[in-house]
């Protein structure tokens, strides 16, 4: 019991020392105007670097991520085919793909897939 408590105390003490050293050593003391300014191919920026971002690009990215995760969920279904009941696998696959198709239809119906405004 005593050795367990002493080991826990040593581990906590060691991790606290390492965190404190990392905090102290990571402090930046040298702030330069050139390092704080945006970088544009070695030249000074022509305009402000804080331009508004188009919401269309963000929505296309979100849709891509959603379909990417869906593909990652579909791929293991092929490997499970040999180890599961064919009827249950078919029902699960059909329901899953139906949900994906309903989501695609909803995005298409809302105009999310139209690039032009």
Q: Taking the domains of the chain in order of start, what are their residue ranges?
A: 2-109
Question: How high is the pLDDT of residue 79?
Answer: 85
Confidence of residue 95 (pLDDT cuts 50, 70, 90): very high
Q: What is the DSSP string of 32-71?
A: -HHHHS--BTTB--SS-S-PPPPHHHHHHHHHHHHHHHHH
CATH of 2-109, one of 2.30.30, 2.60.40, 1.10.287, 1.20.58: 1.20.58
- Model pLDDT for residues 33-46, shown as the tens digit of each residue: 666 666 656 666 66
Residue pair 89/36 in contact by the 8 Å Cβ criterion: no
The CA distance from 62 to 68, in Å, is 10
User: What is the Cα–Cα distance from 14 to 20, expressed in whole angstroms?
Assistant: 10
Please tell me what DSSP assigns to residue 116. Answer: -
The more confident residue out of 1 and 89 is 89
| The pLDDT of residue 62 is above 90 | no
Nearest-angstrom CA–CA distance, 112 and 22: 46
């Amino acid at each position: 019991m005593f050795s367990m408590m002493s080991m826990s105390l040593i581990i906590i003490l060691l991790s606290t020392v390492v965190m404190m050293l990392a905090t102290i050593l990571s402090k930046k003391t040298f702030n330069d105007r050139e390092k704080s300014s945006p970088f544009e191919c070695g030249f000074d920026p022509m305009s402000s670097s804080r331009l508004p971002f188009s919401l269309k690009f963000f929505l296309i990215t979100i849709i891509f991520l959603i379909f990417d995760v869906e593909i990652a969920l579909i791929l293991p279904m092929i490997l499970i085919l040999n180890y599961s009941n064919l009827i249950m696998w078919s029902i699960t696959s059909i329901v899953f793909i139906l949900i994906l198709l309903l989501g695609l239809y909803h995005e298409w119906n809302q105009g999310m897939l139209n690039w032009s405004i």
